[in-house]
Amino acid sequence: MRASFYVILFLNILLFDGNFLAAGLLSNPDKFIEARDADGIVKLDKRSYMRVSEGIRDTYSVVLVNQPYAEACDSCILFGKQAREISRTLLQNKPDINVIFYDIDPYEVLMVQEDLRIEYLPTLLIYPPPTRKNFHMSTAAHTRLTAMTLEELEDVNYVKNFITNGLNITLEDLEMTVPEQFNVVSYGKYFGIFVATGIASEALLAVLK
Ligand SMILES: *[C@@H]1O[C@H](CO)[C@@H](O)[C@H](O)[C@H]1NC(C)=O
């Protein structure tokens, strides 16, 4: 009686402790980091979505479910532009941050609609780094921003605020850095050398005369 109780308990652990059962399913982020486009976004197809939805090790996932070119959806177009700018700026300001942005068209990757319970476009989901090896996006804790109206999106900080909360970063991290100022000190230095060289060669010519 006692022995079978322990056997059942052990089986339970085997079957339901995903850490044991599904060890090693989390993917390495490197392949997805390499696949980022110029704005730092990875476009997912069905196959790559299945990998990503099972978890990327030690990495935040920012998932954009959107149709940025949908003519009938003004908020999709605006959201798509803002998300790209945010991703690009974050990558410029914090190139080593453990975040990957993914772009999914729910009409191309149909399973996303049910998996991630997408009811409106655009929808933005943020998943913190997986803490269990049997992670799956369909059940994992996350935050989501959905059914954004044009009015909400016209506030440039609306999406930014959501992302800073989800990634535990500051608004400053999402601000474009000012292009480097013209460096007056080094310009002065090189001008000085130029003048000095000029005087030296004048002097040399004078000596030679
Ligand atoms: C958020 O970031 C701050 C400062 O970098 C850190 O002290 C804090 O532990 C972080 N919080 C979470 C929940 O990661």
Q: Ligand 1 center to residue 102 CA distance, Å? A: 23
Task: Give the per-residue pLDDT at 25.
Answer: 80
CA of 167 from ligand 1 middle (Å) equals 9
Q: Is 55 exposed, middle or buried (0-12, 13-18, 19+ CB in 10 A)?
A: buried
Residue 180: the pLDDT is 56
Do residues 66 and 109 make contact, with C-beta atoms less than 8 angstroms apart?
no
Per-residue confidence (pLDDT) for residue 23, from 0 to 100: 46
Compute the distance from residue 169 Cα to the ligand 1 centre, in Å.
8
Q: In the chain, which residue ranges form alpha helices assigned H by DSSP?
A: 2-16, 18-21, 30-34, 46-53, 74-93, 111-115, 150-153, 157-167, 184-208
37 close to 85: Cβ distance less than 8 angstroms: no
What pLDDT does residue 41 have?
98
**How many helices (DSSP H) and strands (DSSP E) are in the chain?**
9, 5
For the chain, domain boundaries: 25-174
Alpha carbon of residue 115 to chain centroid: 20
- pLDDT score at 111: 97
Residue 132 and residue 57 in contact, taking contact as beta carbons nearer than 8 Å? no
Task: Give residue 129 CA to ligand 1 midpoint distance, Å.
Answer: 14
At the topology level, CATH places domain 25-174 in Glutaredoxin (3.40.30)
Q: How far is CA 173 from the centre of its chain?
A: 13
Could you tell me the distance, in angstroms and rounded to a whole number, from the CA of residue 2 to the centre of ligand 1? 47
**pLDDT tens per residue across all 209 residues of the chain:** 455 444 444 444 444 444 444 445 899 999 999 999 999 999 999 999 999 999 999 999 999 999 977 777 899 999 999 999 999 999 999 999 999 999 999 999 999 999 999 999 999 999 999 998 889 999 999 999 999 999 999 999 999 999 999 999 999 999 987 665 555 555 555 555 556 666 666 665 666 55
Compute the distance from residue 75 Cα to the ligand 1 centre, in Å: 32
**What's the rounded Cα separation, in Å, for the pair 120 and 204?**
79
